[in-house]
Amino acid sequence: MMMTNDAKDDLALEALFEGARSDALGLSPDFMARLEADADAVISKQTTPMAVTTTISLWARIAAAMVPLAGLAAATLAGVWIGFHVPSSDFADGLAFGDSADFDVSAFLPAVALSGFSDLEVDG
Amino acid sequence: MAPDAALLVAVANGDASAARVLIERLAPRLLSHATRVLSDRAEAEDVVQETLVRLWKVAPEWRQGEAKVSTWCFRVLVNLCTDKLRARKPTVDIDAIAEPAADLQSVVEQMTDTARRDALNGALATLPERQRHAVVLRHIEERSNPEIAEIMDIGVEAVESLVARGKRALGAALRGKRAELGYDDDQ
């Protein structure tokens, strides 16, 4: 049976491809040396900045750790300051209103809401 | 045998011997592809060298499992080859050359005493750039269509189309030259 032109083309091409696949290009020693030198240069450059980065990140971590400590120190100082500055008697009296006579809750409620609670009283 | 990605992690950790293993694995295939596409050994060596330098630089940020190292390298190589080819012919859109068969035929006509390899390389050299990449990757590098799609950043259907058109153009050029090249009608 006669082959079509396309089939013949495919056959010829496949044979050419097959030959090309087995025709591996070798690396010359010079080219190999260039590639290795590049790799060494890039690797050494990348490892040196890595050490600097580590140092920087260590200081950054220390600084970050100081932030909550600073907050704690401020809170402590504030507590000490309050402890040494005794409040005046007027200030204490102003807070102590509950031990006196009765008072009407309605004084603290809006006028419209008073209809159902007009008799409500709270004993001190 | 350590996978390429594992070797690249070692490179990122400063292991130069891992880089040498990767060079031995990748460089011959990259050089083969670049030489076929550029038809110039010196330029091919330059693009392979640049591809590998970029690989070493990207090693510390390499994300495991996202791409095969060889696929990534071929992708960079294809782009660098494209840059080289366009620098040679800055005013010509290579992909716009519609029908290369006539040129292929004339190239082969002049190769009365050439070897099969030279005939193929000569025919490949006249293909539009993307067809050339696709045909070489598919039929000489034996990459799968999905991998070629990833390398060339196109769809699988586009790869199939490029390969088919490239083969058709090569076949048309080489038709009638089968006997001259050592393939007669009986094969």
Using a CB-CB cut-off of 8 Å, the residues of chain B touching A42 are 53, 56-57
Q: DSSP secondary structure string, B143-184?
A: --HHHHHHHHTS-HHHHHHHHHHHHHHHHHHHTT-HHHHT--
**pLDDT score at A116:** 53
B56 touches A at CB < 8 Å: yes
124-143 of B, contacting A, C-beta below 8 A = 139-140, 142
In sequence order, the 6+-apart residues with CB closer than 8 A to the CB of B136 are B33, B36, B37, B124
Provide Rg for chain A, Cα atoms.
45
In chain A, % helix, strand, coil (3-state, to 5) comes to 75, 0, 25
Sequence letter at residue B51: T
| Selection from B18, B4, B131, B16 nearest residue B78 by Cα | B131
Q: What pLDDT is stored for residue A56 in this prediction?
A: 54
Give the Cα separation of A19 and B58 in Å (integer).
35
pLDDT tens by residue, chain B, 187 residues: 789 999 999 999 999 999 999 999 999 999 999 999 998 999 999 999 999 999 999 999 988 777 899 999 999 999 999 999 888 765 444 444 444 444 443 443 444 435 577 778 888 888 899 999 999 999 999 999 999 999 999 999 999 999 999 998 888 777 756 666 666 554 4
Residues of A in contact with B56 (CB under 8 A): 38-39, 42-43, 46
Backbone angles phi, psi at B36, to 5 degrees: -65, -40
- What are chain B's domains? 1-91 (1.10.1740.10), 93-187 (1.10.10.10)
Tell me what the mean pLDDT of segment A22-46 comes to.
88
A44: tokens are 């050494």
Domain ranges of chain A: 27-68
Contact: A25, B32; criterion CB under 8 Å:
yes
- Degrees to nearest 5, angle at CA B84 with B82 and B145: 25
pLDDT band at A2 (very low <50, low <70, confident <90, very high): low
Query: What confidence score (pLDDT) does residue B111 get?
Result: 44
The average pLDDT across A48-54 equals 51
Q: What are phi and psi of A108, to 5 degrees?
A: -100, 0
Give helix then strand counts, H and E, for chain A: 3, 0
Give the gyration radius of chain B's Cα atoms: 18
Scanning every residue of chain B, which has its alpha carbon at the shortest distance from the alpha carbon of A44?
A: B14
Of residues B23, B44, B37, B15, the one with CA closest to residue B126 = B37
The better pLDDT of the pair A8, B58 is held by B58
Task: With beta carbons under 8 A apart, name residues in chain A contacting B183.
Answer: 8, 11-12, 15
Predicted local confidence at residue B29, as pLDDT: 92
